[in-house]
């Protein structure tokens, strides 16, 4: 029986390995992590991450050919194929701080693999890494290997949180990069055989290592660029009276452009887009390509602009101050159907409002109070360094913030509502009931264009929808600079 071990039981390691175990009953899969609490959660009824369909897959295979364990070394030693799916956050200090990928966790995983291995192994980069990481990893492994043969493959993950299981069941493509040597090609073939259990052959793409590594960074940059493009247009729509939904629809009808990923919003978030673009920017700079670096940097600048533009709109609409006013925040996760808050635009929006001394009442169906308080007290880029790996504990809770477990509670007595995640339940709230219990004038700032603005206006709300023609009220209150 082929044995797979995956180091890192996070948003990628957990779901990808659960699906491999489901689709390949002839393969034994062990997912290992240094976080005891995370592994305990994977072995319990309350999985550490929320992802539609994941519970079901885990329950079907756990204890059969899917195991979660903290015994990292034993499972690595026994495995034929070792996936490394540890976090690769942005560096917070030293050269490249704020841009380059921090490969501390990756390097320590590689050193451990070299230390404990007693047989040949295929080591698979699942984490998103800078181009040429495989070369560095190869050096660590071969210099410490005691004659063991390691083949490095790059197999970046393209799943999207919120639809991870669907994406893994039916991926657009699986990408496997390897050395162009006979041994490299043999390793590619071995990994291909794993995916071939359920992925059609024409969707399994093979390439050299560097193309595979770069493709992941490029794919994330392209996706984020579409969002920043439509968000840039949304600002112009508001200034001109055009409607971004109509513009995006017309633009997306061009088959060369396509309709997906053209929803204007308060901005993109998630653990990948910003981190991977910063990483791309850094690699361009290191390779003497400042023009290319600046081009991609602009995607992040527009995203930051969109978040601050939203905050400015909220403040200016509410008589240029939110000081002491209760503002309800509906949604904190970076997108619907996940509890993940890494780089969520809600953090910057909330911090912006707190900067003007607003009182926030936050509701998200999947995010805990602890998580929200931690996110709001953490410094930029600290978020992706797991708590258990951080030297100091999170700072004290933010006092101006309350977290509640109901949208009606959050909006009680509020002056305004900011919708920051597109949870379906926000479309069908009883907005009349909400209006009646709010201060007047009552505002809705829809950062995801989920509500029926016309209906809300009929109730009496002043409504701001991203990129849509503005209410007279909002026109009279130009956004502050
Ligand atoms: P995560 O932070 O949820 O999980 C990483 C896990 O690795 C943590 O539980 C941590 O305790 C563990 N870990 C760190 N060092 C370790 C070590 N030496 N030994 C054992 N365990 C160790 O991160 P996530 O989101 O799963 O991302 C992992 C990688 O996949 C990153 O490079 C990310 O960029 C990439 N990725 C993430 C996607 C996402 O949607 N979250 C999608 C595609 C790629």
Residues in the chain: 481
Residue 374, annotated as binding a ligand: no
Question: Has residue 174 been placed in a domain?
Answer: yes
Q: In this structure, are 108 and 227 located in the same domain?
A: no
Q: Which atom of ligand 1 is nearest to the CA of 156?
A: 44
Q: In this structure, are 110 and 229 located in the same domain?
A: no
Q: Is the CB of 66 under 6 A from ligand 1?
A: no
Q: In this structure, are 435 and 376 located in the same domain?
A: yes
Neighbouring CB atoms inside 10 A of 193's CB total 13
Q: Is the pTM of this model over 0.90?
A: yes
Question: Has residue 480 been placed in a domain?
Answer: no
Residue 413, annotated as binding a ligand: no
DSSP state of 388: G
pLDDT the model gives residue 445: 98
Q: In this structure, are 192 and 225 located in the same domain?
A: no
Residue 337, annotated as binding a ligand: no
Q: Token digits for 389?
A: 């790996």
Q: Token digits for 274?
A: 């910003």
Q: Is the CB of 113 under 6 A from ligand 1?
A: no
Question: Taking the C-alpha atoms of 251, 253, 254 and 255 in order, what is their torsion angle to the nearest 10 degrees?
Answer: 140
Question: Has residue 214 been placed in a domain?
Answer: no
Q: Is 286 a catalytic residue?
A: no
Q: How many domains does the chain have?
A: 2
Question: Has residue 479 been placed in a domain?
Answer: no
pLDDT the model gives residue 393: 45
Q: For residues 160-176, give the mean pLDDT.
A: 97
The whole-angstrom separation of Cα 328 and Cα 316 is 17
Q: In this structure, are 249 and 375 located in the same domain?
A: yes
Under the banding of pLDDT at 50, 70 and 90, the label for residue 383 is low
Write down the residue that tokens 């159907």 correspond to.
Answer: 337
Q: In this structure, are 23 and 152 located in the same domain?
A: yes
CB-based contact 130:90 (threshold 8 Å)? no
Q: In this structure, are 244 and 190 located in the same domain?
A: no
The whole-angstrom separation of Cα 413 and Cα 360 is 11
Q: Does position 126 have pLDDT exceeding 70, yes or no?
A: yes
pLDDT the model gives residue 147: 85
Task: Give residues with Cβ within 8 angstroms of 228, minimum separation 6.
Answer: 268, 298, 299, 300, 302, 303, 306
Burial of 82 (0-12, 13-18, 19+ CB in 10 A): buried
Question: Has residue 83 been placed in a domain?
Answer: yes
Q: Is the CB of 43 under 6 A from ligand 1?
A: no
The domain boundary, picked from 169, 199, 229, lies at: 199
DSSP assignment of 161-211 equals: TTSHHHHHHS-S-EEEEE-SSHHHHHHHHHHHHHHTTTS-GGGEEEEEHHH
The Å distance, Cα 68 to ligand 1 centre, comes to 15
Q: In this structure, are 165 and 88 located in the same domain?
A: yes
Q: Does position 388 have pLDDT exceeding 50, yes or no?
A: no
Question: Has residue 204 been placed in a domain?
Answer: no
Catalytic choice (5, 24, 237, 272): 272
Q: Is the CB of 343 under 6 A from ligand 1?
A: no
**Residue span of the structural domain in which 270 resides:** 221-474
Question: Has residue 481 been placed in a domain?
Answer: no
Q: Does position 221 have pLDDT exceeding 90, yes or no?
A: yes
The domain boundary, picked from 166, 199, 232, lies at: 199
Q: Is the CB of 86 under 6 A from ligand 1?
A: yes
Q: Say which residue, 462 or 98, is predicted with more confidence.
A: 462
Task: Output the domain CATH number for residue 255.
Answer: 3.40.50.720
Under the banding of pLDDT at 50, 70 and 90, the label for residue 477 is confident
The domain boundary, picked from 199, 229, 257, lies at: 199
Q: In this structure, are 11 and 84 located in the same domain?
A: yes
What mean pLDDT, rounded, does the chain reach?
A: 94
Q: What angle do CA 179, 181, 186 make, to 5 degrees?
A: 85
Residue 342, annotated as binding a ligand: yes
The whole-angstrom separation of Cα 405 and Cα 361 is 10
Q: In this structure, are 195 and 226 located in the same domain?
A: no
Under the banding of pLDDT at 50, 70 and 90, the label for residue 385 is low
Q: Token digits for 165?
A: 């299981």
Q: In this structure, are 331 and 390 located in the same domain?
A: yes
Q: Does position 389 have pLDDT exceeding 50, yes or no?
A: no
Helix axis angle for 54-61 and 13-23, nearest 10°, is 50
Burial of 372 (0-12, 13-18, 19+ CB in 10 A): buried
Question: Has residue 235 been placed in a domain?
Answer: yes
Question: Dihedrals φ, ψ of 333, to 5°?
Answer: -65, 160
Q: For residues 99-108, give the mean pLDDT.
A: 91
Q: In this structure, are 159 and 231 located in the same domain?
A: no
């Amino acid at each position: 029986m082929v044995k797979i071990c995956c180091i890192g039981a996070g948003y990628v390691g957990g779901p990808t390995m659960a699906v491999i175990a489901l689709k390949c009953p002839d393969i034994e899969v062990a997912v290992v992590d240094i976080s005891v609490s995370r592994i305990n959660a994977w072995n319990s009824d309350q999985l550490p991450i929320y992802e539609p369909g994941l519970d079901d897959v885990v329950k079907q295979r756990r204890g059969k050919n899917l195991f979660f364990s903290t015994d990292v070394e034993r499972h690595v030693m026994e495995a034929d194929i070792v996936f490394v799916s540890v976090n690769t956050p942005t560096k917070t200090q030293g050269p490249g701080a704020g841009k380059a990928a921090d490969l501390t966790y990756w390097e320590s995983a590689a050193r451990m693999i070299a230390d404990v291995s007693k047989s040949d192994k295929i080591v698979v980069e699942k984490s998103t890494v800078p181009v040429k990481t495989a070369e560095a990893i190869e050096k660590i492994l071969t210099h410490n290997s005691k004659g063991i043969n390691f083949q490095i493959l790059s197999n970046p993950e393209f799943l999207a949180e919120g639809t991870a299981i669907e994406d893994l069941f039916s991926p657009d493509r699986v990408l496997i990069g390897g050395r162009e040597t006979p041994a490299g090609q043999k390793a590619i073939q071995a990994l291909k055989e794993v995916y071939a259990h359920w992925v059609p052959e024409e969707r399994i793409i093979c390439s050299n290592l560097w193309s595979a590594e770069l493709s992941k960074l490029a794919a994330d940059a392209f996706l984020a660029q579409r969002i920043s493009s439509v968000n840039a247009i949304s600002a112009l729509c508001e200034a001109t009276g055009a409607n971004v939904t109509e513009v995006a629809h017309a633009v997306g009808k061009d088959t060369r452009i396509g309709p997906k990923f053209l929803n204007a919003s308060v901005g993109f978030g998630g653990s990948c887009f910003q981190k991977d673009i910063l990483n791309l920017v850094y690699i361009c700079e290191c390779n003497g390509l400042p023009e290319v670096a600046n081009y991609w940097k602009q995607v992040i600048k527009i995203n930051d602009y969109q978040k601050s533009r939203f905050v400015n709109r909220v403040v200016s609409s509410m008589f240029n101050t939110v000081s002491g006013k209760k503002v309800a925040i509906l949604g904190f996760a970076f997108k619907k159907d996940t509890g993940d808050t890494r780089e969520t635009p809600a953090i910057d929006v909330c911090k912006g409002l707190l900067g003007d001394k607003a009182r926030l009442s936050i509701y998200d169906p999947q995010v805990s109070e602890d998580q929200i308080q931690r996110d709001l007290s953490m410094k930029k880029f600290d978020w992706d360094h797991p708590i258990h790996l951080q030297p100091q504990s999170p700072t004290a809770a933010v006092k101006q913030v309350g977290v509640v477990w109901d949208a009606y509670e959050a909006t009680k007595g509020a002056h305004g509502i900011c919708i920051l995640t597109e949870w379906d339940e926000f479309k069908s709230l009883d907005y009349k009931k909400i209006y009646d219990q709010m201060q007047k004038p009552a505002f809705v700032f829809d950062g995801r264009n989920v509500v029926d603005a016309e209906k809300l206006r009929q109730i009496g709300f002043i409504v701001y929808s991203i990129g849509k023609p503005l209410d007279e009220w909002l026109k009279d209150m130009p956004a502050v600079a």
